[in-house]
Structure 1
């Protein structure tokens, strides 16, 4: 069974794929400010590793700086592989919900890469100043209830 895809949806899907790819590259490179700028000013990031969600670009950037420095000191590189994005049609306010799977691969020098985490990422994306931004991101892990 095939599903007919409109040119508008295909364009939306491609835009969001490009957005997510750029965002994951920024995160993995440790470019904290640029990564935080992919969120709205009051953007929310709720990972399962923290007791409370992180809100706002300043706090988001600090979290990435801190995590990236700790990984570098430990000699580990992490790659976030965002796949199978299910992109919903835009809502009445123009926001788009996206549900993706995220694999986090960890590698230490001279060691084989290992799958560290398997997660589900639920985003609410909005357009600000002509760019996609995350307004809300909720992450859940497959190994936790």
Structure 2
């Protein structure tokens, strides 16, 4: 198998982007997370039926999703690894990432669930990296 290489500085830039994006999500800073998407960016995490579109739609989706944790002192951490980047003809990057979500409650043991694959289209400009689209698939639903 041959993969088209991306420059190491671009790969490092994407890793840095993902680190900050996931820290915003895990910290409950949904507006900051949504700001990492393009204005028309889409976010679909299965088993959600429809993608959320645009920063306001993404924030609304995250607020609704996280209501299930109201009154639950849970901390969730998203771990991205094995980032595979493929340059696209339009200059964007197709990104495929393995993701684990670690959930822990005070006094409890960390639980790893779910295991996911994240399929992104990223746009890299002089202003930084933005997500144009994200589709999250859960391994247990495959």
Same fold per superposition (TM over 0.5): yes
Q: Where does structure 2 lack aligned partners over 5 or more consecutive residues?
A: none
**TM-fit CA distance, 1:51:** 1.5
- SS for the counterpart of 2:141 is coil
**TM-fit CA distance, 1:91:** 2.2
Equivalent in the alignment of 2:103: 106
- 1:104–1:116 contact (8 Å) kept in structure 2: yes
The 2-side partners of 1:33 and 1:133 are apart by 14
- Match among 132, 137, 142 for residue 134 of structure 2: 137
How many residues are matched? 140
The 1-side partners of 2:50 and 2:64 are apart by 17
- SS for the counterpart of 1:30 is coil
- 1:71–1:77 contact (8 Å) kept in structure 2: no
Q: Where does structure 1 lack aligned partners over 5 or more consecutive residues?
A: none
- Match among 45, 59, 76 for residue 57 of structure 2: 59
- SS for the counterpart of 1:122 is strand
- 1:99–1:121 contact (8 Å) kept in structure 2: yes
The 2-side partners of 1:24 and 1:139 are apart by 14
Which TM-score applies when normalising by structure 1? 0.88
Bigger mean CA offset, 31-40 vs 122-131: 122-131
Runs of 4+ in 1 over 6 A off after TM superposition: none
> RMSD of the TM alignment (CA)?
2.0
**TM-fit CA distance, 1:70:** 4.2
**TM-fit CA distance, 1:55:** 1.0
**TM-fit CA distance, 1:69:** 5.2
